[in-house]
Amino acid sequence: MQQMKKTVPGLVVAGLRGGSGKTVISLGIAAAWSNSEIEVAPFKKGPDYIDAGWLSLAAGRSCYNLDTYLCTPPQVEHSFYSHCRDCDISVVEGNRGLFDGIDLEGRTSTAELAKLLNLPVLLVLDCTKSTRTMAALLLGCMHFDPDLTILGVVLNRVAGKRHENKVRDNIKQFCDLPVFGSVPKLSARDFPERHMGLVPMEEHSLATDSVAAAAKVARDYIDLDRLHRACMEIASRVPSREPLENPVPARQVPATVPSVSPPSFSSKVEVEPPVVGIIKDSAFQFYYPDNLEALEACGAKLAYISPLTERVIPHVDAIYMGGGFPETHAPQLAANKGFRERLRELARQGLPIYAECGGFIFLGESLLLDGVSYDMAGVLPVHFGLSNRPVGHGYTQVTVVADNPYFKKGETIRGHEFRYSTVLDLDQTQGTMAFAMDRGKGIVNKQDGFFRDNVFATYTHILASGTPSWAESIIRQALAYRDR
């Protein structure tokens, strides 16, 4: 007989807008609870690599992304419950404003996710130059969606005790919700920002100290024991539900496209697992745990490779190149000529290579920065530059319009893009575009997924739990390459 799915205590940390301070508050709560020997399962709502990396460091375990655009609601539920089954409590950091979604119904919003997972919301209020208005905004949130449980608030960027008391008194008078803490204005020294988010944890030389500072902020200014008790009390009132089936079918794969069974490596004597090289260092760091685990679940052995520090490429049967900030490491990447030449040679030999965003840049011919051109790997006939503003940002939806090694023609795929790079020159006669953009910008002319032979590069990031055919295709190509 199947076991009932247990109720998982937790909370969603949300704000009224992006930049309200919920990331530092989420980090602080997760780190402080973890330091108190409370096992915390961290999650990030929406497509995000940087905040998820910091949350992973704070909680001491992988942070998983939950997104109802990239995945079906059952897939999101399955990810959440399977990754916190051995934890004491979950902390989910929201994104943007609490109710901000892609349509009038609030689909893909933080509020939608909180209701899907039966989790209460801790609202972070940026109180800058406001007092009574905070109560009005909070009251509006309480009445905007009566089905949403708002646990309480944390006041952020408070100017002093007098300011704090005014806000507290108004919330008590008009909202009757707990104020779990009041955080003063903090210096940005511990969490410097780049582009539209925090600096990646891998590039922050004082990452551990920064998380420790966030934990101290939480301990000093938030009543963590009271917050923990409130989460446990709410969880005790949520009934357990039937377990979710696994695997969860993907929304993105039409019924006309047959599903693909992953290769089986149960007999390692007969079939050795293919080796998939993961290009990962401070230049290439944007990888969802779901994607790496999906490759392993399909039988891959992962080998991590750094084009910044390694001169040779070890034996691999395929390569997966994630995104990152190659522009901040362009001189080092260009200087590693041996690595670039070897990658180009392997590509010519048919090595399967799948690259996203920053990995796409490294596969190109060059990257132009401040008038200086830096040589990249030269695998694909593309020259890149860099803009001061985002060139592509947000959710994407693509239709596969050309036969290619990794996706079925006619398949619809949902992903996201976030890039400052610009395509200065692209010789489309030397390859094929696999994707037509139904939503998003893509590479050029509403097209994405440029490929030649077994090399595939795209600005669209996918989440493997929402696109299960991706990992299976990489393993299939790796085995075929090894057999050749």
**Residue 475: CATH number of its domain:** 3.40.50.880
Q: Do residues 294 and 468 make contact, with C-beta atoms less than 8 angstroms apart?
A: yes
What is the Cα 293 distance to its own chain's centre? 14
Angle at 48 between CA 42 and CA 54, to 5 degrees: 50
Overall domain count for the chain: 2
Among candidates 150, 207, 200, which has minimal Cα distance to 175?
Answer: 150
Pairing of strands 150-158, 179-184: parallel
Task: Based on the fold, state whether residues 227 and 300 are members of the same structural domain.
Answer: no
- Are residues 211 and 282 located together in one domain of the fold? no
H or E, element range at 42: strand 40-45
- Same domain for 320 and 189: no
The pLDDT of residue 241: 53
Q: Are residues 301 and 167 both part of a single domain?
A: no
C-alpha 442/C-alpha 423 separation (Å) is: 10
Cα–Cα distance for residue pair 435/390, rounded to 1 Å: 21
Q: Which of 178, 205, 236 is the last residue of a domain?
A: 236
- Rounded distance between C-alpha atoms, residue 320 and residue 291, angstroms: 10
Question: For residue 176, what are the contacts with CB-CB under 8 A and spacing of at least 6?
Answer: none
Residue-wise DSSP of 396-416: EEEEE-S--SSS-TT-EEEEE
Q: Which amino acid is at 106?
A: G
CB 116 within 8 A of CB 36: no
Nearest Cα to 431, choosing from 416, 444, 415? 444
Q: In what order do the strands lie in the sheet with 40-45?
A: 64-66, 40-45, 89-97, 10-15, 121-126, 150-158, 179-184
Q: What is the pLDDT of residue 7?
A: 72
The per-residue pLDDT for 264 is: 44
Residues 222 and 296 in one domain: no
Tell me if 44 is assigned to some domain.
Answer: yes
Task: Please report whether residue 259 resides in a domain.
Answer: no
Identify residue 472 by its one-letter amino acid code. Answer: E
Alpha-helical (H) ranges within 127-223 are 132-144, 161-174, 207-221
**Structure-token match 């089986």, residue found:** 264
Question: Quick check: is 54 in a domain?
Answer: yes
pLDDT of residue 129: 96
Check whether residue 297 and residue 176 sit in a common domain. no
Residues 411, 257: contact at Cβ < 8 Å?
A: yes
The one-letter amino acid code at 3 reads Q
Domain of residue 63 covers: 10-236
Q: What is the pLDDT along the chain (484 residues), one digit of tens a residue?
A: 344 455 789 999 999 999 899 999 999 999 999 999 999 999 999 999 988 999 999 999 999 999 999 999 999 999 999 999 899 999 999 999 999 999 999 999 999 999 999 999 999 999 999 999 999 999 999 999 999 999 999 999 999 999 999 999 999 999 999 999 999 988 766 565 554 456 666 666 677 888 898 999 999 999 999 999 999 999 988 765 544 555 444 443 332 223 333 444 433 334 789 999 999 999 999 999 999 999 999 999 999 999 999 999 999 999 999 999 999 999 999 999 999 999 999 999 999 999 999 999 999 999 999 999 999 999 999 999 999 998 999 999 999 999 999 999 999 999 999 999 999 999 999 999 999 999 999 999 999 999 999 999 999 999 999 999 999 999 999 999 999 8
C-alpha span between 339 and 342 (Å, rounded): 5
- Is residue 267 assigned to a domain? no
Cβ-based neighbours of 482, under 8 Å, separated by 6 or more = 274, 317
- Torsions phi, psi for 125 (to 5 deg): -105, 115
Rounded CA gap, 27 and 29, in Å? 6
Amino acid at 283: A
Domain C-terminal end among 184, 208, 236 = 236
Res 261: pLDDT = 39
For residues 63 and 90, the answer to whether their CB atoms sit within 8 Å is: no
Residue 130 falls inside a structural domain: yes
- Assess whether 179 and 59 both reside in one domain: yes
Domain check: are 280 and 170 in the same one?
Answer: no
Angle, helix 161-174 to helix 132-144, in steps of 10 degrees: 40
3-state secondary structure of 350: coil
| Domain final position from 236, 263, 285 | 236
* Confidence (pLDDT) at 190: 56
Taking the CA atoms of residue 432, residue 436, residue 440 and residue 445 in that order, the dihedral angle to the nearest 10 degrees is: 60
Q: Are residues 468 and 394 in the same domain?
A: yes
Return the pLDDT at 209: 84
- Rounded CA-CA distance 89/241 in Å is 18
Q: Give a yes or no: residue 344 inside a domain.
A: yes
The answer to whether position 453 is within a domain reads yes
The reply to whether 185 falls in a domain is yes
What's the pLDDT score for residue 2? 44
What's the rounded Cα separation, in Å, for the pair 441 and 450? 14
pLDDT value for 243: 46
297 lies in the same domain as 187: no
Cβ contacts of 289 within 8 Å, gap of 6 or more: 62, 63, 64
Distance CA(376)–CA(2), nearest Å, equals 53
Q: Scanning the structure block, which residue is given the tokens 């507290």?
A: 168
CATH code where residue 152 lies: 3.40.50.300
Active site residues: 357
Cα–Cα distance measured from residue 201 to residue 282, given in angstroms and rounded to the nearest whole number: 9
Query: Which of 79, 84, 97 shows the shortest CA–CA distance to 30?
Result: 84
- The structure tokens listed for 451 are 């490929």
For residue 328, how many other CB atoms are within 10 A of its CB? 15
Task: Tell whether 205 and 284 lie within a shared domain.
Answer: no
Other beta carbons within 10 Å of 483: 7
Same domain, 449 and 384: yes
